A = this chain, B = another copy of it.
Amino acid sequence: MEIRDLFLDNPLRKRIYVDGKAVKVGLTEVILTPTHNAETHTCTPNEPVRIYDTAGAWADPSFHFDTSKGLPLIRERWIEERGDTEAAAPSYTSDTPFKNRPIRKAKPGARPTQMHYAKKGIITPEMEYVAIRENLALLNGVEGKMSPDAPRSSLFIQHPGGIPGVESGKIEITPEFVRDEVARGRAIIPANINHPELEPMAIGRNFLCKINTNIGNSSMASSIDEEIEKMLWAVKWGSDTLMDLSTGADITATREWIIRNCPTPVGTVPLYQALEKVGGIVEDLNWEVYRDVLIEQAQQGVDYFTIHAGVLQRFIPMAANRMAGIASRGGAIMAKWCLSHKKENFLHEHWDDICEIMAAYDIAFSIGDGLRPGAIADANDAAQLGELEVQGMLCRRAWKHDVQVMCEGPGHVPMQMIAENMEKQLDWCDEAPFYTLGPLVSDIGAGYDHITAAIGASIIGWRGTAMLCYVTPKEHLGLPERNDVREGVVTFKLAAHAADLAKGHPAAQYRDNAMSLARAEFRWNDQINLSLDPERAREFRSRGDKEFSRDNAAMHHCSMCGPKFCSMRASLEIKNLAKGE
């Protein structure tokens, strides 16, 4: 399929731009059909619904659609104008069309991080971009009211001084609010100065709940083209960030192609490339090799690094005797390194050195949870919680360097133990954004683990987790392919949306209401276009019902019940009958 066709398949979902002072923000507008009144034979127009868009220029018909040219450099001028960065000599080469692109680093002594600016009181274009992008309630003209339930995870409620209209009324997310959340470490805007293609976004529990997509090859499967395709599928279906977890061939070139074409932040686990550099021999890993990898990836434009610095020697015996040992690849590598050298984790020992590199490029930490449970029986055990406390200490040290931080979380956790994870993370990590893998609420879901994980993700998202790492149906069984990416992304968009709804986000409720009204009024095209995966909804609606098409999409039933047993059809009649009472 042509890339253009992948993104421009639906004329009723189109990319629009909203202008700010310094920025032009892309969103999706879902065009609705009018409501037809059968009695008066009149039509009432329905306002379009504006929803969050992650596809960047790929959703713009005027784009060149050529992956060898990459995305427009929307942040280039913002970065240059701040004047705190300078050209850097490249530390890596890649045989790609992008090999001569300019590379930047901080000027000596400068900290060009969003957190640094935020603490200084400076509102950056990135912050303004985020504010407009998150303003879906305002953009849809929705008056809001916050949920009194679960105050800790409810939107905005904890913001000191409040936001105009917290209780009810117009809810505006201001650039100043974004700045304040970033300054206090409760949200991050992952945005490497070498990833000027990126559309800024925020991860924090007072913003929309986000999702991450993992892609990447292994030594056994996939190619650069397949990975680019997975990236495009991820952003098409709404993935907010992307992790390239490649461990196979062409790591550097694969990443270059992805970053130059990816409109969302890109994260990696630098340890994987470091291990490749020492021929896969864990014992041969050392700080120097690792540092070089950090700098290479920093210059390429990776926006956040997962670093397993919380896997300390004292936790390893606890984890070794678990039901499922150490389920994190990075965690297992570092544990093995510690054991063979009888030394403390070198990532922990070099934390301040790492912070300085992160600060020079504005890379955010995603502090790894190397000891996350890989089995229900291991959930919330001493190894896991011990590491979480260390993650909190590492957070605070990173903040001193003005480096943005989020913390990674579990893993396999049964439902009744999920809330404790969130509570402890908020307490111990001073409200740094939590970013969880699932959690998976059972071990026996093989083949359906996107669902096992979406159940836990919805619950922990509701409780305040800022970003949910997707899981695909292939989890535990094999490397995800393109279709698994779609299945995982849409499933996790659903989990994140359910979390936003439960937190009382007025824009989330607005979209559900628009959907339900379309359902009650038999506006089938609107139902399809308001759903998370319109292509699948249309396919399912049409199948087994040959009469259905775009033209007669107003038919008052579907094949599930047929015309006589359609409750929505009866409801229309009941409404009229009840009026006459």
The reply to whether the CB of A385 lies closer than 8 angstroms to some CB of chain B is no
Known: A416-B149, A416-B150, A532-B445. A375 touches B516 (CB 8 A): yes
The chain B residue sitting closest to A420, CB to CB, is: B149
Chain B residues within an 8 Å CB radius of A530: 444
CB 8 Å contact bits of A442-483 with B (1 = contact, 0 = none): 111111101110110011001000000000011111111100
Q: Are A325 and B574 in contact (CB under 8 A)?
A: yes
What's the minimum C-beta distance from A351 to chain B, rounded to whole angstroms? 23
> In the complex, are the beta carbons of B562 and A220 less than 8 A apart?
yes
A498 CB within 8 Å of chain B: yes
Residues of B within 8 Å of A473, CB to CB, are 540
Whether A447 contacts B272 in the complex (CB less than 8 A), given A377-B512, A520-B323, comes out as no
Among residues of B, the one whose C-beta sits closest to the C-beta of A326 is: B571
The reply to whether B502 and A339 contact each other, CB–CB distance below 8 Å, is: no
Contact with B along A315-335 (1 / 0, CB 8 A): 011011101111111011101
Is A22's CB within 8 Å of the partner chain B? no
**Contact at B574–A339, with CB atoms within 8 Å?**
yes
A458-B415, A574-B320, A577-B336 known; A476+B564 contact, CB < 8 A: no
A153 nearest CB neighbor, chain B only: B416
Q: How large is the interface on A (under 10, 10 to 19, 20 to 34, 35 or more residues)?
A: 35 or more
Name the contact of A533 in the complex, choosing from B326, B377, B448, B561 (C-beta under 8 A). B448
Partner of A442, one of B247, B412, B494, B541: B494
Is there an interface contact between B324 and A568, defined as CB atoms closer than 8 Å?
Answer: yes
CA distance A149 to B509 in the complex (A): 31
Does residue A250 face the partner (Cβ distance < 8 Å to B)? no
Which residues of A from 288 to 339 have beta carbons under 8 Å from B? 316-317, 319-321, 323-329, 331-333, 335-336, 339
Query: A375 → chain B, closest Cβ, in Å?
Result: 3
CA distance A540 to B449 in the complex (A): 12
| CB <8 Å contact, A339 and B577 | yes
Listed from nearest, the 6 A-B pairs whose CB atoms lie closest are A325-B571, A375-B516, A332-B570, A447-B536, A219-B562, A320-B578
Given contacts A218-B561, A445-B531, 6 further A-B contacts (CB under 8 A): A326-B571, A332-B571, A441-B458, A447-B537, A476-B560, A478-B544
Give chain A's interface residues, CB within 8 Å of chain B: 147, 149-150, 218-221, 247-248, 272, 275, 280, 282, 316-317, 319-321, 323-329, 331-333, 335-336, 339-340, 374-378, 412, 414-416, 441-448, 450-452, 454-455, 458-459, 462, 473-481, 490-491, 494-495, 497-499, 501-504, 509, 511-513, 515-517, 519-520, 527-528, 530-533, 536-537, 539-541, 543-545, 558-568, 570-575, 577-579, 581
